[in-house]
Structure 1
Amino acid sequence: MADIRDMYMAHAALRREFDLLPQLVRDVTPGDTGRAALVGEHTELLCHVLHRHHEGEDLQLWPRLHERAGAAAEAIVSTMETQHHAIEEAHAEVVRLLPGWRGTAQGGAELADALERLRAALVEHMAMEEQEILPLAEKYVTAAEWKKLGEHGMASTPKKDIPLVLGMVMYEGDREVVNEVLADAPLPIRLLMPIIGRRRYAAHARRIHGTATPPRIGANAR
């Protein structure tokens, strides 16, 4: 059945990056379009990762739990779907505001407030998902089906960004879990991706966060 440990690893990355994001926007000096472009690109990448992650759950996880888990799934899956709608609304507001700020470095306070709302909705959702959904997934979702969920999240990610996204996720990840995620990849990728990914994220974090080692928030932080 599904090895759900990689979801905790992904959630840790989302918590960390979305926690840091509102202040990153607020710290951009009005009119500093160079810095706004850099932080804006980072924001766009995170929004893409989040959207694809939840899209995969909507398409592949909730229907299976509805079908297989019976009464144990009904109320909580409906709550998950409602939370996804709320997150998507907050996400849409960020996406609406982002291009204008990214191009002018004006209106950062409004964008940061929208990011705060997105972060709050996301943190609440992930905590409930870890407590209620992941135990069901271990019982009712096969390993092959679970792997397809992860593949959906990466399918539309530009190839140039895949090492960065994996490095972002692996930053707080257990090596055993990282190895499991890469288990079906060709040997060179299994050997090199942990190294390349961590280097790409370290370089990216220096540009975005001012340090190669931003604060680790942990998989179960609230």
Structure 2
Amino acid sequence: METSNEPSGRLAAFGNQLIEVHLWLREELARLREDVDAYLDGGGERPRDLRAHCLTFCSALDRHHTGEDGGAFPVLAERFPELRPVLEELTRDHHMVADILRQLEHLLGDLEPGAAEARRVRAELDGLAALLESHFVYEEKRIVSALNSLAMPDWDGSKPGFLLTGYGHRRPGGPVDIG
């Protein structure tokens, strides 16, 4: 695969932006896990706030993977056919992540004050964190240089969905405000 180290005049190459999004998602997931731990320790956010935080994170992660599957991966497959097996494996990971996100949403739909439910949410978040870490490392190793070589004028003016972060407005020191 031939790729260029030059980002075609962009401020930041798409692969580098992908790494930044992954870092943001890792940080948000770590914060969410800390929120669940604080709740289990008797402090932390009320179940409703914890539920909102978790669901908005799940939505941001789903948007990222949907954007990759529907935008970046088809472009990469067309331009770099040798990456197709990698992209198929990453897409399979996305389906596993989506299954965990659905399970989390189900658990959160029934979240009542209590440690048992929060422990189940924490266990799902732990599984999600392990899967995502493996997925992100593999994805970064295999496709960042190809993304960095892309010249996509329509992506330059407006970031595609897989490169967006943020899912609400955070009040300093407070929970996510999704309204």
Q: Would you say same fold, with TM above 0.5? A: yes
Residue 207 of structure 1 aligns with which residue?
A: 174
2:97 alignment partner, one of 87, 95, 113: 87
Which amino acid counterpart does residue 17 of structure 2 have in structure 1? D
Q: TM-score w.r.t. structure 1 length?
A: 0.63
Q: Do the aligned partners of residues 18 and 152 (structure 1) sit closer, same or farther apart at CA in structure 2, a change above 3 Å counting?
A: closer
Query: Unmatched 5+ residue regions in structure 1?
Result: 165-200, 209-222
> Is the 1:87–1:121 Cα contact (8 Å) retained in structure 2?
yes
Residue 132 of structure 1 aligns with which residue?
A: 142
Which amino acid counterpart does residue 91 of structure 1 have in structure 2? L
- Superposed displacement of residue 89, structure 1: 1.1
CA distance in 2, matches of 1:35, 1:17: 18
CA distance in 1, matches of 2:36, 2:27: 15
Q: Do the aligned partners of residues 31 and 46 (structure 1) sit closer, same or farther apart at CA in structure 2, a change above 3 Å counting?
A: same
Query: Unmatched 5+ residue regions in structure 2?
Result: 1-7
1 or 2, which has the higher helix percentage? 1
Q: Which has the higher contact order (CA 8 A, sep 6+)?
A: 2
The total of aligned residue pairs comes to: 161
| Structure 1 residue ranges, 4+ long, deviating more than 4 angstroms after superposition | 29-34, 151-154
Which amino acid counterpart does residue 127 of structure 2 have in structure 1? R
1:105 alignment partner, one of 113, 118, 127: 113
CA distance in 2, matches of 1:152, 1:10: 6
Residue 75 of structure 1 aligns with which residue?
A: 85
> Is the 2:64–2:162 Cα contact (8 Å) retained in structure 1?
no
- What is the root-mean-square deviation in Å for CA atoms of aligned residues? 2.8
